[in-house]
Amino acid sequence: MSVPGLLPAGARRFFIKIFLDRAGLWFTMLTGPLVAVNFGYCSVFEMSPGRIMLKVDDDPQRVGLCPRRLAQIGPHFQKYIDEAKLSGVLTLVARKGQLAYLDVRGTMDIESGKALAQDAIFRIYSMTKPVTSVAAMMLYEEGRFQLDDPISHYLPAFADARVYTGGSARKPETVAAERPITFRDLFTHTSGLTYGFMGTSPVDAMYRLNELDGGTTQLSTAEFMNRLAQMPLQFHPGTRWNYSMSTDVLGHLVEVISGMALDEFFRTRIFDPLGMIDTGFSIPARDADRLTTNYSRRKDGSLHVADAPKTSRYLKQRAFLSGGGGLASTAADYLRFSSMLLNKGELDGARLLGRKTVDYMTCNHLPSGGDLTSMGQPVFSETSYDGIGFGLGFSVMLDPAKAQVVGTPGEYAWGGMASTMFWVDPREEMIGMLLTQLMPSSSYPLRREMKVLSYQALTD
């Protein structure tokens, strides 16, 4: 591969030459001191100040993927754009150390018609949860806590928890919890906590009455946790699965145990080592034009602006750092994070977790090896959770036939409220990702369709 000529000094751009071998991809920066870094999955990066751009490998067949079949992914999601169901979609498939497919189509913002760019910044919401889980397990590896430790050892406000048994949101009836909430309960969403937006029980209503909304609260993280601890649990810890603010509590535990604010811990222990330069709880003013518009779906199917870039709360520093849903990120950054997981905790010489720890996180931790349906959560988002277990921060595929979607036992995944998703398939050495901005994530079966369209391209 030839190296492009240098641009005039005023252009302030950097071009990179990349060398490929079995160990990975290497690049050399040619403006300024020579630097050689193993940069993982992507065939080519073009770097301008503060940006990393992906370029797809020119021969996906080398990694067992059919180019013609991969090419079906983009046109499929174009139908959603043409029907004004989505503003824009970014999809990618990586396998065996190569970015085999990358498709970017539609707009960042329907009203302006600005084309979606591959370095667009998306609100990834609950795709924050795997990041927080990794952070917590880094502390676990340091011997700072055990999974069966009660969280009240570190957050005394959660001692003497009570469980809702009846009554109304304003006059609840409760009993003492049979046992304390543990770290494992938080990782696996079996703590008894919930979300105010769930709307399935009086406990949810109590969250709303007490303004326990991580997206809008003005409370600090510590203040929020103290208020949350006063709410009754929806069930006794460890007895059921319920999607909840558990990972927000886990994020605060990272702060308490490490003595660092969550954004600082993420930056110094995860983002900087992995080269994730565009991921954070807020977006710098210089990058505001890269933030996509977030839409919500009305009952008639039309789109409504839920969060516009110019007025987005992501442009401001927030007191509450949501470990369960506060991050914004890019395709390139989250591919770096996913690649670290697929590579068993290490990427480009930066090891965040040990191999056994990643294996442990991504096995099923639900009682008796059951699936989410057996734990009292038959449906969440747009997909049935039959045949799906849960690990320490990820859903885990147990039985693709029971789940009624193509996949591999042992693959792990999660998504976000605005219909984003990713999955990692260790057996196939494969990563898939879909980024868009539409709430709720149950609007359309985008995630199932992305998986089918990706797996049907495998040829070996």
**Does residue 460 sit within a domain?**
no
Separation CA 450–CA 92 (nearest Å): 9
- Which of 258, 283, 316 represents a domain boundary (last residue)? 258
Give the residue among 435, 423, 244 at the shortest CA–CA distance from 329: 435
Whether residue 169 is found in the same domain as residue 72:
no
192, two tokens: 């008894």
Residue 2 inside a domain? The answer is no
Same domain, 222 and 251: yes
Q: Which of 239, 258, 277 is the last residue of a domain?
A: 258
Q: Is 170 exposed, middle or buried (0-12, 13-18, 19+ CB in 10 A)?
A: exposed
Q: Which residue carries 């043409």 as its tokens?
A: 82
Q: Which of 15-24, 127-136, 223-232, 254-263 has the lowest mean pLDDT?
A: 15-24
305 within a domain of the structure (yes/no): yes
Pair 401, 428 in one domain: yes
* In-domain check, residue 364: yes
48 lies in a domain? no
Q: Which of 26-35, 72-81, 96-105, 446-455 is the least confident region? A: 26-35
Query: How many structural domains is the chain composed of?
Result: 3
Helix ranges, 214-372 (H): 221-228, 246-258, 262-265, 272-274, 331-342, 355-361
Assigned domain for 135 exists: no
> How far apart (Å, rounded) are the C-alpha atoms in residues 267 and 278?
11
What is the rounded distance in angstroms from the CA atom of residue 224 to the CA atom of residue 214?
Answer: 8
Cis check for the bond before 202: say yes or no (omega within 30 of 0): no
Quick one: 358 and 431 in the same domain? yes
Residue 385 has what pLDDT?
81
Residues 6+ apart with CB under 8 A from 155: 225, 229, 249, 252, 253, 256
Rounded to two decimals, what is the model's pTM? Answer: 0.90
The two tokens of residue 17 are: 């030459």
> Is 47 part of a structural domain of the chain?
no
Could you tell me which of 328, 304, 320 has the C-alpha nearest to residue 435?
Answer: 328
Does 125 share its domain with 152? no
Cross-strand pairs, 26: 19, 38
CATH classification of the domain holding 222: 1.20.58
Same domain (yes/no): 387, 338: yes
Burial class (CB in 10 A: 0-12, 13-18, 19+), 184: middle
Q: Which two tokens stand for residue 314?
A: 């992501």
Q: What is the DSSP letter of 304?
A: E
Six token digits for residue 352: 């965040």
Q: Is the same domain home to 278 and 396?
A: yes
Each residue of 102-128: pLDDT tens digit? 999 999 999 999 999 999 999 999 999
> Which of 32-36, 58-62, 87-91, 226-230 shows the lowest per-residue confidence on average (mean pLDDT)?
32-36
Cα 98 to chain centroid distance, Å, stands at 21
pLDDT in tens, 43-102: 334 455 556 779 898 899 999 999 999 999 999 999 999 999 999 999 999 999 999 999
Which one of 189, 223, 258 terminates a domain?
Answer: 258
Looking at residues 392-417, what average pLDDT do you find?
96
pLDDT tens, position by position, 250-307: 999 999 999 999 999 999 999 999 999 999 999 999 999 999 999 999 999 999 999 9
Task: Give residue 68's region: left, alpha or beta (phi > 0; psi -120 to 50).
Answer: alpha
Residues 299 and 384 in one domain: yes
Asked whether residue 96 is assigned to any structural domain, the reply reads: yes
Report, in angstroms and rounded to the nearest whole number, the Rg of the chain calculated over CA atoms.
22
Q: What percent of the chain has pLDDT over 90?
A: 82
Which CATH number do you get for residue 306? 3.40.710.10
Flag whether pLDDT at 317 surpasses 70: yes
Token couple for 205: 């209503």
Regarding whether 443 and 393 lie in a shared domain, the answer is yes
The strand pair at 395-397 and 388-390 is best described as antiparallel
Examine the domain organization and report whether 271 and 181 are in the same domain.
no
List the beta strands (DSSP E) in 185-242: none
247 and 275 in a single domain? The answer is no
- Identify the domain containing residue 98 by its residue range: 60-129+261-455
What's the confidence (pLDDT) of residue 377?
62
Residues 112, 175: one domain? Answer: no
Q: What pLDDT is attached to residue 17?
A: 31
